[in-house]
Structure formats: structure tokens, C-alpha cells
Chain A
């Protein structure tokens, strides 16, 4: 079956530092890939997505590139802020409405940015 593996946290870094969160996946076919962010006490928010190989998703200074050859979708941000402190989830989609469009999630990576 499908699976998503993320680096375990917590990741602690200083403001303006470079952030990378690794994500690798196993899947049959050509899944879509997603990054979600969860702030304390809130639901998940879609951060960015990529639907095919070599696509780059970007939003709010975050970027991730769909790398089929390495089955990876690493999340990066060049200069983090305290407000980026959150839990980040990588996910892939079992495509098709009939199959329920289910997502397979990684375990989440907690990021703490200190001033």
C-alpha cells in the first residue's frame, strides 16, 4: 500500500534560518502530493500541492518539488519566522472520487522557531 515518511521532529531553529523537512513516499501510479500545516488547536490547512513529476508547489514562501526519481517532496523555506511554528504534514492522494480521494499522511513534523 501507499506510505509517507517524514523526518521526526521537533525541529528547532532560529528566526531567519533555512528550513527543510524531508518527505519520501511509496505509491503505485502517479499520486498527487501535498503539504499541510497545523497551528496549535486548529485544523489542517493546505499549504501547497503538486500533481505531477517536476511540478513545484509554492505558497507563503514555502516550496516543494515533486521528484519522481527519488520519490520525494521535501518542504523548504528560505527564512522562517516565529509564526511558522506549527506541525507540518506531508500527504499523497489515492486518486479518484470512487476510491474516496483518500489521503495517506506522514506522521507530522513539529517545527519550533525561536526569536
Chain B
């Protein structure tokens, strides 16, 4: 069966510091991968998605970036965090069925 991992689970970072969040999927090959952000009490905002290694599509211009160095690894990064980057970051995967399967999330607080 497939599993998806995210780490860290929680993170507190100062404004201006760098960020690296990691997501890995097990038990499947060539999945689509997604990064979402969920602000407190709000809905989901798709940030990036990837249909293959090295292929990244950005949905929203911002100071975040994403990379996919391996088939089942998806990384979200920033060089300098802003206060507005605080939120709950969710990674998800899908194949061709349309359904996406989400990880447990990373709670990021920028102070």
C-alpha cells in the first residue's frame, strides 16, 4: 500500500530565515505530487504540482519554490521566510484516478 510522509511535523522559524519542507511517497511510481498551503480557518491553496522528476508547475507567484529531485520526493523551499508564509503545508500525491491522497502536514509558524 502507498504511504506519504512529511517532515518536520511542526516548525517555528524567524522572518528572513530559509525553509525546506520534505515530502516522500512510498509504494507507487511516477505519481503526480502537490504542495498546498492552508491558512488558519481557511481553505486550500495549491502552490505547486509536478507530473515528473524535474517538472514543476507554479500556481501562485510567491517567495516559495519547489523541486522534485527524485520520483517520489517533493521539496518546498524558501530563501527568506515572510510572516505571511505561516500556515499548514500539505503534500499530496495522485495517479490517474483523479483522487489525491494527502500527507499529515507541516505546521509552520514564522515569527
Q: Which of B42, B98, B107 contacts A101 (CB 8 A)?
A: B98
The CA-CA distance from A32 to B34 in the complex, in Å, is 18
Total count of chain B residues near the partner, CB < 8 A: 24
Q: What residues of B have a CB within 8 angstroms of the CB of A93 in the complex?
A: 98-99
The closest CB in chain B to the CB of A101 belongs to B94
Chain A residues touching B, range: 20 to 34
Residues from 61 to 111 in B contacting A, C-beta threshold 8 Å: 90, 92, 94-105, 107
Q: Are B105 and A42 in contact (CB under 8 A)?
A: yes
What CA separation (Å) do A78 and B27 show in the bound complex? 35
A51 contacts partner chain B, Cβ-Cβ < 8 Å: yes
Would A97 and B105 be within 8 Å (CB), given that A43-B90, A89-B44, A105-B44 are in contact? Answer: no
Inter-chain CA distance A89–B49, complex, in Å, is 20
Q: Does A103 contact B (CB under 8 A)?
A: yes
Whether A66 sits at the interface, judged by CB under 8 Å, is no
Using CB atoms, name the residue of chain B closest to A104: B46
The chain B residue sitting closest to A93, CB to CB, is B98
Q: In the complex the two chains form, what is the Cα distance from A41 to B104 in whole Å?
A: 8
Residues of B within 8 A of A32 (CB): 97-99
Question: Given that A97-B51, A100-B57, A102-B46 are contacting pairs, would A43 and B98 also be in contact in the complex, using a CB cutoff of 8 Å?
Answer: no
Q: Which residues of A contact B42 (CB under 8 A)?
A: 107
Residues of A within 8 A of B (CB): 31-32, 34, 36, 41-46, 49, 51, 89, 93, 95-98, 100-103, 105-108
